[in-house]
Amino acid sequence: MVALPLIAALAGCDASSEPVAATSSAAPSAAAPRAIDTPDCAPDGTRAVVAGTDDTVVLTLGEGAKGIVFAPQSNGNFCQWSDQMVRYAAAGYRVASFGWGADGAESLKDAVAAIRDEGAEDVVLVGASKGAGVVAGVADDLDPAPVGVIALSPGVKVDDLDATSAGSSYTGPLLVIASVSDGTVNASESKQVARADDPSTYVELPGGAHGVSILLTDTGPQVLEQMDTFVAAAFGA
């Protein structure tokens, strides 16, 4: 496993950071990824496209065939995972995040399609809060399936998606992480996203941090180490 430094996970964007329209005069179909100006909140070297029929804004960074897609929280956008995108890109992964459209499942699928279009062959899905529920709920609907799923503070249902392991046919590597006193999503809900017959798929932390805020607590370094180990194993390292 590559040793990675701890970098804070919360990187936000304000309204002034929204990407502007593409400067190209071409008019590709709505489903064809098309380049746009990179938003100010994005890390250096980030590529930005609009993808899918719902015009999902997708940011990508890094190179290689091993892809990681980061799904933000409901109050976050394509830059909420910026620091982790930088961290994993530096470790040799091709990474992406995106902004939510009207249909959360389609937004995630658009991001996966975009990173695959760039050259990612295998993909790990990582999500927090709403993003955690979406990656868990959509994992069994992707073909090819993700090689791993990490969910921080998932609920059992989001955007009409069933995020529970009992309601999913996804059988690949899974890691669910939740805080015991989370006041936003009860830990008992998150535990249902993990597999009842496999305790290794669930990690419960002290305190009440929710979603990406977990990475800023005293247990943040431990969580990042667990994520790094999980991702490496998912890609067969």
Per-residue b or e along 213-236, where b marks 16 or more CB atoms closer than 10 Å to that residue's CB = bbbebebbeebbeebbebbbebbe
In a domain, 150, yes or no: yes
Q: Quote the CA–CA distance of 191 and 156 in Å, as a whole number.
A: 9
Average pLDDT, integer, range 207-233? 97
Is the pLDDT at 8 greater than 80? The verdict is no
In a domain, 63, yes or no: yes
Query: Strands of 47-51's sheet, edge to edge?
Result: 34-35, 47-51, 56-61, 94-98, 66-71, 122-128, 148-152, 174-179, 202-205
In a domain, 116, yes or no: yes
What's the pLDDT tens digit per position in 225-235? 999 999 999 99
Would you list the DSSP string of 186-233? -HHHHHHHS-TT-GGGEEEESS---GGGGGGSTTHHHHHHHHHHHHHH
pLDDT at 26: 37
Question: Encoding tokens for residue 192?
Answer: 């249902």
In a domain, 4, yes or no: no
pLDDT band at 182 (very low <50, low <70, confident <90, very high): very high
pLDDT at 32: 72
Burial of 5 (0-12, 13-18, 19+ CB in 10 A): exposed
What's the pLDDT tens digit per position in 29-50? 345 789 999 999 999 999 999 9
126: β partners: 70, 150
pLDDT band at 54 (very low <50, low <70, confident <90, very high): confident
Please give the helix or strand (H or E) that residue 67 lies within, else none: strand 66-71
Q: Number of folded domains in the chain?
A: 1
pLDDT at 122: 98
In a domain, 16, yes or no: no
Helix axes 104-118, 130-138, angle to 10 degrees: 70
Where do runs of H (alpha helix) occur along 25-178?
82-90, 104-118, 130-138
Is the pLDDT at 12 greater than 60? The verdict is no
pLDDT band at 25 (very low <50, low <70, confident <90, very high): very low
Question: Encoding tokens for residue 48?
Answer: 């930005």
pLDDT at 161: 96
| Cα dihedral 125, 157, 83, 31 in deg (nearest 10) | 60
In a domain, 3, yes or no: no
Question: Encoding tokens for residue 66?
Answer: 């091993």
| Cα dihedral 152, 158, 163, 164 in deg (nearest 10) | 100
In a domain, 2, yes or no: no
In a domain, 156, yes or no: yes
CATH number at residue 44: 3.40.50.1820
Q: Quote the CA–CA distance of 79 and 59 in Å, as a whole number.
A: 8
Contact 150, 127 (CB under 8 A): yes
pLDDT band at 13 (very low <50, low <70, confident <90, very high): very low
Please give the helix or strand (H or E) that residue 234 lies within, else none: helix 220-234
pLDDT at 6: 35
What's the pLDDT tens digit per position in 98-118? 999 999 999 999 999 999 999
Average pLDDT, integer, range 152-156? 98
Q: Quote the CA–CA distance of 124 and 29 in Å, as a whole number.
A: 28
Please give the helix or strand (H or E) that residue 151 lies within, else none: strand 148-152
Q: Print the domain residue range for 98.
A: 31-234
